[in-house]
Amino acid sequence: MATVTLWIGTRKGAFALRSDAQRRRWTLSGPQFLGHTIHHIVQDPRRPRTLLMAAKTGHLGPTVYRSDNGGQRWQEAAAPPMFRRAAAGEPARAVERVFWLTPGHAQQPGVWYAGTSPAGLFRSEDGGAHWAPVAGFNDHAMFPQWASGARTPDGELLHSILVDPRDPAHLYLAISIGGVFESTDGGRDWAPLNEGIEADFLPDPNVAFGHDPHCVALHPLAPDRLYQQNHCGIYRLDRPARRWHRIGRAMPAKIGDIGFPIVLHPRDPDTAWVLPMDGTTVWPRTSVGGRPAVYQTSNGGKSWQRRDRGLPRAHAWLTVLRQAMCSDSQARPGLYFGTTGGEIWASTRGGEHWRCLAARLPEIYAVSAALR
């Protein structure tokens, strides 16, 4: 059985939790890049010793670091993601944060994608050393409407860049706020894919874009199956259909179906996990009632089961951000989440029982699992 490394991106640096083969004992290491804001750390499945990390500091602009030795040493990108120089009269866009990293298709071993705030899509063809804007999206005629630069408190975010494992030219991405978009020609052209998604914060709930996807996931073994945790509920889409269905309607009414992350079982397309948060009134975004729970569906969203054994029973006002929950790919998948209060929680029994692996870390932005 392989060991697991959890890479933890926080507001104040990068940490790693390494397991033994049974995932019983975990050893915390770090911080690396103490004081840096780490939005995402992602292992390259094509070259498992390679990792990319999205970073900035409070003072300094955004960049990307690459490691080729499992995170021991890091090399800064020679050309980090940046928009092209604006022509006269154009908005002068500048990347404030690299927010999301996605490895490219297995047939394109050097390719990576990055999503930024404000919304921008970038591509590297040399393993993250040099990045270029994806003009087909960033300069699309509709881009000013799709990504309006909404000044939400944490800024406009481009995330959930998904590559169809059957076709490197088939891509999805999401903008919060903006919606889900699809390309079938390698990023040269894009179209909205938001039919059926609610947008109760807009005057017209039937818009083609302008929605708020929090996290979108594609099942690697059933790539026609997409799940979405949205600002307005949990959805499923089975391509080639274009209409999402709100599977969160089957969640308990007192819990609701609002949250940030959604995590898929690595082999079973019908199994997924969410972590509901309070999306009422002024949107506290904390565990509902101060009682955190993961909810699992094993039938594609027809029903959901509460998974809270081992989690605090009261007065635990946790917030879990969209990159801060993940699974590993072991035979019995481990589930992990990190909180903005600096705790890491784990279940190696499919969510049936939880335990705290680490506490008092800085505010956690991202948790990703890497196998060794």
Partner 1 sequence: MACTVHLGSPLRQYTGGAATVSANGATLDEILTDLDRRFPGMRFRMIDEQQRIRSHIRIFIGTDAAQDLQRAVAPRQSVHLLCALSGG
Footprint of partner 1 (CB under 8 A): 57-61, 63, 76-78, 80, 82-86, 92-95
The Cα–Cα gap between 163 and 269 comes to 16
In the bound state with partner 1, the residue whose beta carbon lies nearer, of 17 and 158, is: 158
The reply to whether omega before 240 is within 30° of 0 (cis) is: yes
Min separation Cβ 128 and partner 1, Å: 13
CB-based contact 47:109 (threshold 8 Å): yes
Question: CB 36 → partner 1: shortest distance, Å?
Answer: 9
CB of 220 to partner 1, least distance (A): 34
Task: Name the residue nearer to partner 1 (CB basis): 9 or 80.
Answer: 80
CB of 95 to partner 1, least distance (A): 7
Integer Cα distance of 27 and 149 in angstroms? 41
Which CB sits closer to partner 1, 58 or 203?
58
Task: Write phi, then psi, for 155 (nearest 5 degrees).
Answer: 85, 165
CB 52 within 8 A of CB 112: yes
Q: Is 296 exposed, middle or buried (0-12, 13-18, 19+ CB in 10 A)?
A: buried
Tell me the residue ranges of DSSP E strands in 201-243. Answer: 213-219, 222-230, 233-238
Residue (60 or 106) nearer to partner 1, CB: 60
CB of 93 to partner 1, least distance (A): 8
In the complex, least distance from residue 86 CB atom to partner 1, rounded to whole angstroms: 6
Q: Which of 367, 368, 345 is nearest to 355 (CA)?
A: 345
Under a CB-based contact definition with an 8 Å cutoff, are residues 17 and 344 in contact? yes
Nearer to partner 1, 57 or 152 (CB): 57
Nearer to partner 1, 279 or 341 (CB): 341
Nearest to 97 by CA among 84, 81, 75, 77: 81
Q: At 66, which helix (H) or strand (E)?
A: strand 63-67
